[in-house]
Amino acid sequence: MKRPADSRKSPRKSKSRDKVDRSAKSADSSRPPQEQRPRIGLEAAIEKIIPREWTLAHYNPQLPAVLSTPAMIGMMEIAAAQSVQGELPEGAITVGTRIEVDHLKAVPEGTSVRATARLAENKGRFMVFEVEARAGEHLIGRGRVYRAIVEPAKFHAQAHARKS
């Protein structure tokens, strides 16, 4: 039996095209539009005098009263978040997703430490920051911090759903 000429079109092509269109939509829905992504090169810094609560000795008196690695990374994360906050979609925030940081030198309680962050890459809703911490001329830490753009209510709901 002969088919009419227009029925020879493969239905797979249109299904395939539909599938591609759905994939593109779902990829786009997780990414802020290009104009809403923060610009590469945005920077911020935070400077603090290191309190005892941020030292190892605060957690264990047998350890030295030097800036802990988590406290240094926390400063880097705050600098990263502040660097892009003004260019996020309305109501959005960023949350940390990964850290790659080396803590190079110890500094004691009472030292002034400055952490800086610069947006180096945009990967959809994910961002990569080059970070460093300094005490005067001493580089005490450096690396990369990764953050994601999220909507706070949805993020909190998902986090609370995991509470045991």
The pLDDT assigned to 39 comes to: 94
Residue 8 covered by a domain: no
The pLDDT assigned to 36 comes to: 72
The pLDDT assigned to 125 comes to: 87
The pLDDT assigned to 32 comes to: 47
Residue 84 covered by a domain: yes
Number of domains in the chain: 1
The pLDDT assigned to 157 comes to: 92
Residue 10 covered by a domain: no
User: Which pair of tokens denotes residue 45?
Assistant: 């810094």
Q: What is the CATH number of the domain that holds 121?
A: 3.10.129.10
Render the burial of 74-110: b for 16+ CB within 10 Å, e for the rest. Answer: bbbbbbbbbbbeeebeeebebebeebebebeebbebe
Residue 77 covered by a domain: yes
Residue 34 covered by a domain: no
Residue 16 covered by a domain: no
- Predicted TM-score of the model (pTM): 0.77
The answer to whether the Cα torsion of 58, 64, 67, 71 is positive or negative is negative
The pLDDT assigned to 44 comes to: 98
Sheet holding 112-123, edge to edge: 43-49, 112-123, 126-135, 138-150, 93-103
Domain of 152 in residue numbering reads as 42-161
* Below-70 pLDDT ranges, the chain: 1-35
The pLDDT assigned to 35 comes to: 53
